[in-house]
Structure 1
Amino acid sequence: MPKVLIFGQSFNANTGGGVTLTNLFGDWDKNDLAVICTSHANGNISPNVCDNYYFIGSDEFHYKFPFNYFQRPSPSGKLPIVYTTSSESFSYKPSWRELIIQNVLYPMLDWSGLMHVISKMEVSPNLLQWVDEFSPDVLYIQASTRESLLFAIKLSERIKIPVIIHQMDDWVSTVGSNGLGSRYWSRKINGEFKQLVQRADLCLSISDLMGVEYQRRYGSKFKTYHNPVDLDIWEPKVNVEKYAEKEYSILYAGRTGFGIATSLKAFASAVEFFNETSDTKIKFYIQTAEELAWTQDFEYTIHKKLIPYEKLPQLFQSMDFLLLPCDFSDKALKFLKYSMPTKAPEYMITGTPIIILAPEETAIFQYGKEFNWAFTINNDDTKFIASRLSEIVSNRISQIEVSQNAMSFAKQRHSQEVVTKQFTQEFRTLVSYLDETESLAFN
């Protein structure tokens, strides 16, 4: 099995990227995997798949003047792995400092363009020594910021091994699109991303639609690899009791924030309107790390704490419907148009009918509609959503048809057993091909 050095995403069980990475690399021996991680992964690392992590600290990460005066020292190097047991349920409340940074400082820096120049990451001698000791065959990259993009290019130049890039969303279309110098930054970052694409030996995308668009933009073919599901864990179990007996239950489980929050609130408003104008009742459950403040304003919207990943299949199966939302703003559409939610195949295999609330242009909407594995809603108007909900909850025949289509399609295209074998073979084929090419060139 090729030894893979990963940069840009850590293994974990409570973020979409972490879950996708864990499932895609499910066939690997943990001794053949190593991860370079940044502060964003601090405290959110799973050692079950990989226990060799290098933390980007003060040796590699530097703020420029005058922001360097606010930089806290952080040690670089191999992370000590701490094994912990997960609790039954948990929630997270950010500190006031985190809230100020996320909601005030970062938007200001992003608008001014300073976000792209105030810091940089370098490839330090200590990092290179750690890489040499691991001796990887392939560098696998998930870049999500200009900073990480430039670092990925530098790293690939220094260690000179085959490169695979994997895009989770279209961040390059939005990272420099607003504020001062937006045109300059958009052109520059897209040009820098094209440099990475040209250096890559294999390019992967999260959806077929993204692959088509990225080949048009950057001139290289992108193969689709999305989150696969373990059928033994996720297939429906018998005798799972419904979460609510006297009303329909709809669940959204996942992240909140940009690209999601507005559509969640629109859906909550529609549920309120539906309940006020109908004898049938619906309760909308939102399972997120942090409770959204506005949920308290809605009688029929309820926040649920996070539960361990292994308990999600039973929770999803106990619901009457599962929601996949995407905001309708131009900026959200740019960012998420080609994305495929990690939860999609997990939802599909459970047998619980799925509702997609998203613009028609998005990959998730087109995917669900084309193969009829979800009910689709293409407008975030309160009354429109409520009207569609009335149609959906009253049509049991359609619910059965949609859920059966979803389960069948998940088994065909998203089975972990099938997908991980294909994913692993991509790495083996790449390494074998390059080895043969070098051998022929040498002879």
Structure 2
Amino acid sequence: MTRVSEHPRVLVVGAEPFGRSSGTGITLSNLFDGWPRDRLAQVYTTRTEPSSNVCEQYFAVDPWNAPVDHVVRSVLTRGRTATAGSAAAAAAVPAGGNGSWKGQARRTMRAVADLSPLLVPADLRAWARRFHPDVVYSVLGSVRVIRLARRLAGTCGVPIVPHFMDDWPATLYSNGELFGLGRRAVDAGLGGVVRRATSGLCISAPMAEEYQRRYGIPFAPFMNCVQESAFDDRREAPPAVAGAGPVEFVYVGGLHLDRWASLARLGAALERLASPPGPARLTLYAPESDLARYGAAFAHLPAVRLARSIGSAEVAPVLWAADVLVHVESFKPEIAQYTRLSLSTKLPQYLAAGRPILGHGPGDLASMRHIVTTRAGLVVGEEDLELLIRRAGELCGDPLLRRRLGDRGYVYAKAHHAKKEVAARFAEHLARVAGRAEASR
């Protein structure tokens, strides 16, 4: 019996390949960055062009291996830009009390696509066996990917390591799509994954605790990590100078999942700041598709500036240029149910930037609790415009408070979110799973 390397051979199975265009892609790229190239391979199902920065061995599943899925998704996204991640979120968020018949129809069509037959071709099975993985790692997210991951793990005779980024297992097809067949397919698929897993991963500690109770196997929290260069190159917050211009509140991220509404409320709050401590400005850096879709919601708010979409290499300078960084989530119950255990990809980046954070979203969400735990910012955990005005005013009027909160976040991020430590623990976890599987053979 040969000893499993500290970097086991990992077959990653998912919708999108490694990349920097989505939160999941960024998290995976950071966790696997530096992995030996001959010990990492990925199977993916979208037409996204893969990046060779982290992984060099790819197998793209032909969309026509799932013909119904391919046709239906083409119809659903016609004329719109949609990533696999945004499509998965749209399917997993339950409809609210006023869900339209059109929305229900789209969710039913997504279920039809997701549950339709999938062909795992012989050349893919042979390719996976030649790679000879120690484990199959997957963020899952759909019935389609669950089935693909289970079949490839069975083909190779190895365990699955699932990694959950949102609480989609509790919400996907929870509106009774296809007369309950969608929900039953999710439950059956996840049951099969758990039977083939010795442990799992989650995006936050609260999620790991709940999933351990839910599924009866151990779960460990692993979220996005931050390159050491972000700490080495850190720029101190500039000293506040009276009359030097507005206090800059900056948001980087998507506007979907109703986040635009919370940002608009903050924009309205900044409009009402008295002088002193005002003035203040909220600048939004979001995907071009989101700016086009939701930009009109900010047209009546002079304190809000719509910037542009930025690449991953531009994020750190944008964060350093801010006085206050903003993180928001939706207050809609059906969306909060989906995001309640999630921890945003950008929060570790925000903390590492050494700038204070203003959080606005339900106070019991894991992301808002993380801001409180790190003592790196202020949280307005309810839809209260007056409270939002007061908290924004405190940050605008007290540069020493901003510096103190930012320093706490930087110290926390360096201790808990630095890539060197997190990636090492991640590799150790996968090596333990691979070692247990090898010992049982």
Q: TM-score, normalised by structure 1?
A: 0.84
Distance 1:409 1:97, change over 3 A: closer
2:263 counterpart of 1:261: no
Q: Describe the superposition over 1:342-374 as per-residue Cα deviations: whole angstroms up to 9, x where unpaired.
A: 111111011111111121111111122133122
Distance 1:356 1:263 in 2: 10
Q: In 2 relative to 1, CA 107–69 (structure 1 residues): closer, same or farther, beyond 3 Å? A: closer
Paired with 2:220 and 2:73, the residues of 1 have a C-alpha distance of 42
Change (3 A) 1:340 1:68: closer
Letter in 1 for 2:17: S
Q: Distance in 2 between matches of 1:191 and 1:144?
A: 14
Match of 1:136 in 2: 133
- Which whole-Å CA distance do the structure 2 matches of 1:418 and 1:412 have between them? 9
2:279 alignment counterpart: 281
Partner of 2:344: 341
Alignment deviations for residues 229-267 of structure 1 (CA, whole Å, 9 cap, x no partner): 112234453477799940011111112211523222222
The reply on whether 1:6 has 2:12 as its aligned counterpart is yes
Residue 13 of structure 1, CA deviation: 1.8
State the partner residue of 1:293. Answer: 295
Structure 1: 5+ residue runs without aligned partners? 73-93, 439-443
What CA distance in whole angstroms lies between the structure 1 residues aligned with 2:314 and 2:80?
32
Q: Which moved more, 1:350-359 or 1:260-269?
A: 260-269
Which of these residues, 348, 373, 376, is aligned with residue 373 of structure 1?
A: 376
Q: 1-side partners of 2:155 and 2:267: how far apart?
A: 50
1:107 counterpart = 2:98? no
Alignment of 1:166-245 (within 5 A): 166-178=163-175, 180=177, 185-186=182-183, 188-238=185-235, 245=244
Q: Which runs of 5+ in 2 are unaligned?
A: 1-6, 91-99
SS in 2 for 1:251: strand
Question: Quick check: 1:355–1:376 contact (8 Å CA) kept in 2?
Answer: yes
Structure-1 residue corresponding to 2:245? 246
| Contact 2:129-2:155 at 8 Å conserved across structures | no
CA RMSD of aligned residues (A): 3.0
* CA shift in 2, pair 1:2/1:69, >3 Å: closer
Among the aligned pairs, what percent are the same residue?
A: 22
| 1:284 Cα offset (Å) | 0.7
Q: 1:22 offset after TM fit, Å?
A: 0.9
Once the two structures are superposed, residues 281-311 of structure 1 have per-residue CA deviations (whole angstroms, 9 ceiling, x without a partner) of 1111111122132233321211222233223
Q: Measure how far apart 1:153 and its partner are.
A: 2.4
Pair 1:156–1:436, CA change in 2 (3 A)? closer
Change (3 A) 1:372 1:225: same
Whether 1:411 aligns to 2:414 is: yes
Once the two structures are superposed, the pairs formed by residues 363-402 of structure 1 within 5 Å of their partners are 363-402=366-405
Q: Which residue of structure 1 lines up, in the alignment, with residue 96 of structure 2?
A: none
Q: Does 1:34 align with 2:41?
A: yes
- Which SS does the other structure have where 1:63 is aligned? helix
C-alpha deviation, 1:129, in angstroms: 2.2
- Please report how far the alpha carbon of residue 278 of structure 1 lies from its aligned counterpart in structure 2 after TM superposition: 6.1
Q: 1:86 corresponds to which residue?
A: none
Q: 1:36 to 1:188 in 2, by over 3 A?
A: closer
Name the CA distance, whole Å, in 2 between partners of 1:408 and 1:433. Answer: 36
3-state SS of 1:96 partner = coil
Partners of 2:378 and 2:391 within 8 A in 1 = no
Between the two proteins, the alignment pairs up a number of residues equal to 410
Contact 2:248/2:282 (8 A) holds in 1? yes
Counterpart selection for 2:62 from 47, 54, 57: 57
Q: CA deviation at 1:321?
A: 0.7
Opposite residue 4 of structure 1, the aligned amino acid is V
Aligned pair in 2 of structure 1 residues 69, 238: CA closer, same or farther (>3 Å)?
A: closer
1:185 CA displacement:
4.2
**CA shift digits 1:399-419 (9 cap, x unpaired):** 222112111111111111111
> Does structure 2 retain, via aligned residues, the 8 Å contact 1:12–1:46?
yes
Q: Aligned partners of 1:238, 1:70: CA distance in 2, in Å? A: 44
Is the 8 Å Cα contact of residues 259 and 335 (structure 1) preserved in structure 2? no
Alignment of 1:129-168 (within 5 A): 129-168=126-165
Which whole-Å deviations, capped at 9, do the CAs of 1:142-163 have from their partners, x for residues lacking one?
1112222233223322322122
DSSP-derived class of the 2:12 partner: strand
- Seen in structure 2, the aligned counterparts of structure 1 residues 235 and 380 have a Cα distance that, compared at 3 Å, is farther
Distance 2:179 2:377 in 1: 37
Q: 1:245 to 1:123 in 2, by over 3 A?
A: farther
What is the rounded CA distance, in whole Å, between the counterparts of 1:107 and 1:62 in structure 2? 23
Q: Give the match for residue 313 of structure 1.
A: 316
Distance in 2 (CA, whole Å) between partners of 1:328 and 1:239 is: 33
Quick one: which amino acid aligns to residue 6 of structure 1?
V
Instruction: Give the stretch that moved more between structures: 254-263 or 349-358.
Output: 254-263
Cα distance in 1, alignment partners of residues 317 and 386 from structure 2: 32
Judged with a 3 Å threshold, the aligned counterparts in structure 2 of structure 1 residues 46 and 106 are, in CA distance, closer, same or farther, namely farther
Residue of structure 2 equivalent to 1:117: 112
CA distance in 2, matches of 1:392, 1:15: 30
Pair 1:359 & 2:365 matched:
no
The verdict on how the C-alpha distance between 1:221 and 1:32 changes in structure 2, with shifts beyond 3 A counting, is same
Counterparts of 1:271 and 1:281 in 2: how far apart (Å)? 8
Once the two structures are superposed, residues 47-70 of structure 1 have per-residue CA deviations (whole angstroms, 9 ceiling, x without a partner) of 111122211214522207xx9599
Which letter does structure 2 place at the counterpart of 1:287? Answer: Y
Give the distance between the partners of 2:332 and 2:374, measured in 1 at CA. 26
Letter in 2 for 1:288: A
